[in-house]
Amino acid sequence: MGVVLHLHEPLTTILGATSDDVGWQLQFVRGPHRTLLRENWSLRAAPAGGPAAAPPDPQSGWLPIASALPVAAALRERGEWSLDGPPTAFDAQDWWYRLRFDAPRAQRGEQIVLGFDGLATLAEVTLNGQPLFASDNMFVAHECDVGARLRPAGNELLIRCRALEPELARRRPRPRWRTPMVAHQQLRWFRTTLLGRTPGWSPPAPAVGPWRDVWLERRDRLHVDNLRTEAFVEGTTGVVRCRLEMPGAGGDAMHSVTLELERGGHVHVQRLSPCAAGQFAGELKVPNAALWWPHTHGEPCLYQAALRIRAADGSESRWELPAIGFRTVELDSAGGEFQLRVNGVPVFCRGACWTPLDAASLRSSAQACRDAVAQAGAAGMNMLRVAGTTVYEEDHFYDACDELGLLVWQEFMFASMDYPAGDPAFAASAVLEARQQLQRLHARPCLAVLCGNSEVQQQAAMWGAPREQWRSAFFEETLAQLCAEHAPSAPYWPSSAHGGAFPHQADAGTTSYYGVGAYLRPLHDARRSGLRFATECLAFANIPGERALERMPGGLATRVHHPAWKARSPRDLGAGWDFDDVRDHYLRTLFGVDPQQLRYADHERYLALGRMATGEAMAAAFAEWRRPASACRGALVLWLRDLWAGAGWGVVDESGAPKACYHYLKRALRPLAVLLTDEGGNGLAVHVINETAQDRQLELELIAWRDGDVQVARGELSLLAQARSARTLSCIDLLPHFMDLSYAYRFGPLPCDAVVVTLRDPLGVQLAQAFHFPGGLGAQPRIDVGLRASVSVTGERTAQLLIATDRLAQGVHIDIPGFEPEDDYFHLAPGAEAHVTLRGAAGAAPSGAVHAINSSRSTRVAPEPRPFVPEPSQVAPAGEIPAPRLA
């Protein structure tokens, strides 16, 4: 594998390169002698359509850049471009990259390979004045044998990235349907990312240039090529099949090739057998193998894998492989169902759509990526979707998902458009791209679903295309066959919205669900829709915290109606509304206030209620979807992380700081959870969910409150929550009498204005909690609720915050600059306390305030040398809270 060329030229046209120069089989396991070419790069712009051999005036105009990065990121590193500045037409110019380097010293018989893991998008590459190859697919990697072309010193590598705009302007057949999110419909002809080219929701930083590593590698006769591993389970035995090629291992040159697996100090070894000239294969079996689970359902057990290669002359080479996980993934899609089972256990998949951590470079460090994946896992998410609107992620993303136990819904990079799959060159390019990605990802235990595209069928149907045009043989057959051949352990699904009478039907197969969201349906539509599986859902313009608003153009002075704010509010191009309007609709629904009047009179309170509104809507939807009687098998929030500072779809901002809705999801998605749903005349239902691998003895408590601090009902129940089970109870099961807790019968005034259900372990430790407000979130008067707080420094980067309240406190928000709370925007029952861990910079002193939306007074927070002690009138016996005022 390796090279894809101009769309209208045969694949054998390689600017003078021969088949011996360009590698068609790519090695996705890094060899021991690979050097990343990261230094001594230069960049310059040139008018579109210039000569291919060299830029105009090749001796001047070059800008030194820190590394081989896309143009936007490289100029940002130089301080010459910013997302906060005027847009730059990166696609309107040619961009040249130059690298001057010395060749590595090769040993006798070694091959020197120059590799390019990704060039965006129309690229032509020359080395020392000689053409190497051209590429028109940013998702295809390339390898070239350059040993005969290198000089000992003073080599010059040139990469010309041709302007995309002139190519978009060329006359081509019109699409059968339009895609409103893209500004230019002919993007469908080019294998490039939509990021940066969808003005309604992505920053104007289109990928141009090297967006993945450029490297040199010395390869000796022990070099491994075309490696394939397949892990599966037979009964209780884990099996790894391994096959590889070693082109230099002819004759009697090899002594042995051994596959090693290690876990917990136990090593399993299998010597591979020669099966053809230069080919080795074998099967390693692990008795009583530890299984890989999504972290919500068990431990994601991994085995470290390596190849040990020994030549006949005694020389050895060791190749580290991606970790092996033994698991099975099955998909039940019969009759409109969409249920994933891991190791035979049904899994409710919940999570978010992943976006690159840096919109300009499309890169991240391994640690930053792991932290972001861990943050998703900490919120109870067990699946991340790499959508066809973005890019294939780096290996360390899949490393982190393997390690931390998050499933991956992996799409091929096609989205919404009418792709010309009938064009032979386009189809060949797309097939090569798919083969490379499958070779790279097929053995990942985190890989749960391979999906052909994002919303292609849906867009065709919604635009009014005839039914016969909704489906494409490329997605229904070609990609399905490739996945079955190269990644048989992961089920294939043709499109993110697929199934039912029309592709986006909510109660059959998978869909993009925006009933609660863009379509402004009431919250109960989450149930009424009969949703089966949402590959994306719950899209709102989620307002970030103050620090993110400070990073917007204009800073905190920028109001929600300002053009600088609106420029970053997600929208569909041509629509008369945006996702700020969607958020405001649910703010009005939940709090009973007019958003326009509120932001006119009190913009800060408008922001506070707006932050809570999207979190409350998300939590309510997931409570419906996770209850045992629900037909829903999974739901993925549209974005995990914003691409730039602003009110984006992400549940964390572009820096990784959680928004209010992240904390709501963290409480709603935990593996051991208690949830409440309003069943109308059937009262309130409480749902106890235990997805963990252990039975749990639990104590369930219900308290109903009136007037902020008057306890009107209380009940308890002991129960055994069996492993990986869920059960539903009526709240009245916990009480000795009937009470209209949902206010369905409306005989007289509200019997209570808050219902609190708490799940504890036998020692009284709180595990989960849920609130219901029969009169609505806005029913509580704004009075002094007796909010108090103190903080104690517990470590160099940590502090413990204690919050207490006399009366019901809603939407408790912690505002301590420089510190991130582990929980935020929560409700606090009368007389209750909350202990919240704060994490911040080393040596920082936590100082700030704690607010509640129904409190007329906030409380200041400053470090204290001792723990918080309640006032004498509030002191209660150890382990208890002050006795509430009873009705």
Sign (positive/negative) of CA torsion 416, 418, 419, 421? positive
Average pLDDT over residues 751-770: 97
**From CA 75, how far away is CA 56, in angstroms rounded?**
20
C-beta contacts of 716-719 below 8 A and 24+ residues apart: 719/688
Instruction: Give the torsion through C-alpha atoms of 187, 428, 449, 243, to 10 deg.
Output: -150
pLDDT over threshold 50, residue 214: yes
Does residue 508 have a pLDDT over 50? yes
Residues whose CB is less than 8 angstroms from the CB of residue 633 and which lie 6 or more positions away in sequence, other chains included: 337, 338, 339, 340, 346, 348, 349, 532, 533
Tokens, residue 597:
């009047």
Residue recorded with tokens 């103190």: 790
Q: Determine the pLDDT at residue 548.
A: 97
pLDDT reported for residue 14: 28
Q: Cα separation of 545 and 652, whole Å?
A: 10
Strand 492-493 relative to strand 447-451, pairing: parallel
| Residue 243, number of CB atoms within 10 A of its CB | 16
Secondary structure of residue 602 in the 3-state scheme: coil
| 322-331 tens-digit pLDDT | 999 999 999 9
What number is the average pLDDT over the span 214-234? 92
**pLDDT confidence of residue 576:** 92
Give percent of the chain above pLDDT 70. 93
* pLDDT tens digits, one per residue of 786-826: 999 999 999 999 999 999 999 999 999 999 999 999 999 99
Instruction: Reply yes or no on whether the pLDDT at 4 is more than 60.
Output: no
pLDDT of residue 56: 67
The mean pLDDT value for 544-572 works out to 95
Tell me the mean pLDDT in the region 841-868: 86
- Residues 647, 659: contact at Cβ < 8 Å? no
Q: What share of the chain is helix, strand, coil (3-state, %, to 5)?
A: 20, 35, 50
Assess whether pLDDT exceeds 50 at residue 636. Answer: yes
Contacts of 748 (CB under 8 A, 6+ apart): none
Q: Give residue 53's pLDDT.
A: 64
- For residue 252, the model assigns a pLDDT of 66
Q: Which residues contact 712 (CB under 8 A, 6 or more apart)?
A: 704, 705, 706, 739, 751, 752, 887
Return the pLDDT at 109: 79
DSSP 8-state assignment for residue 422: T
Average pLDDT of the chain to the nearest whole number? 92
Alpha carbon separation from 605 to 559, 613, 856, 857 (Å, rounded): 12, 12, 12, 13
Phi, psi at 769, each rounded to 5°:
-155, 145
In angstroms, the CA 579 to CA 535 distance is: 19
CA–centroid distance for 411 within its chain? 12
CA dist 426 and 829 (Å) reads 61
Q: Would you place residue 865 in the very low, low, confident or very high pLDDT band (cuts 50, 70, 90)?
A: low
381: pLDDT strictly greater than 60? yes
Tell me the two tokens of residue 123: 């690229």
Neighbours of 228 (CB within 10 A): 14
Q: Which residue would you say has higher pLDDT here, 159 or 21?
A: 159
> 712-742 pLDDT, tens per residue?
999 999 999 999 999 999 999 999 999 999 9
Closest CA to 451 of 533, 507, 535: 535
Query: 201: which DSSP letter?
Result: T
CA separation for the pair 701, 601 (Å, rounded): 40
Residue 2 class from Cβ within 10 Å (0-12 exposed, 13-18 middle, 19+ buried)?
buried
Burial of 345 (0-12, 13-18, 19+ CB in 10 A): middle
The answer to whether the beta carbons of residues 850 and 787 sit under 8 Å apart is yes
Q: How sure is the predictor about 25, in pLDDT bands with cuts at 50, 70 and 90? A: very low
Q: What H or E segment, with its residue span, contains residue 849?
A: strand 848-851
Q: Burial of 481 by CB count in 10 Å (0-12 exposed, 13-18 middle, 19+ buried)? A: exposed
The per-residue b/e assignment along 630-650, b for 16 or more CB within 10 angstroms, e otherwise, is bbbbbbbbbbbbbbbbbbbbb
Burial of 475 from C-beta contacts in 10 A (0-12 / 13-18 / 19+):
buried
Give the tens place of pLDDT for each residue, 447-473.
999 999 999 999 999 999 999 999 999
Task: Give CA–CA dist 836/829, Å, rounded.
Answer: 15
pLDDT score of 842: 87
Residue 781 has pLDDT above 70, yes or no: yes
Axis crossing angle, helix 603-626 with helix 579-591, rounded to the nearest 10: 80
Over residues 587-626, the pLDDT tens digits come to: 999 999 999 999 999 999 999 999 999 999 999 999 999 9
Half-sphere exposure at residue 220, Cβ-oriented, CA atoms within 13 angstroms? 16
**Among candidates 532, 820, 815, which has minimal Cα distance to 666?**
820
Measuring CA to CA, how many Å separate 680 from each of 520, 677, 744, 756? 21, 9, 6, 18
Q: Is the pLDDT of residue 879 over 50?
A: no
Q: What is the pLDDT of residues 392-408, one digit of tens each?
A: 999 999 999 999 999 99
**The pLDDT of residue 8 is above 60:** no
- Residue keyed to tokens 């099966």: 275
- The dihedral over CA atoms of 575, 576, 582, 587, expressed in degrees to the nearest 10, equals 170
Residue 248 pLDDT class (50, 70, 90 cuts): confident
Q: What is the mean pLDDT of residues 627-637?
A: 98
Band (538; pLDDT cuts 50, 70, 90) = very high
pLDDT tier, 884 (very low <50, low <70, confident <90, very high otherwise): very low
| Percent of the chain whose pLDDT exceeds 90 | 86
Is a pLDDT exceeding 90 seen at residue 271? yes
Phi then psi for residue 281, to 5 deg, are: -150, 155
Token representation of residue 785: 């609720």
pTM, rounded to two decimals = 0.94
Q: How long is the chain?
A: 887
Pick the closest to residue 390 from 674, 195, 644, 160 (CA basis): 195
pLDDT of residue 881: 36
Read off the pLDDT band of 167 (50, 70, 90).
very high
Going by pLDDT thresholds of 50, 70 and 90, the confidence category of residue 863 is confident
How much is the average pLDDT of 543-552? Answer: 97
Omega cis (within 30) before 193: no
pLDDT of residue 276: 82
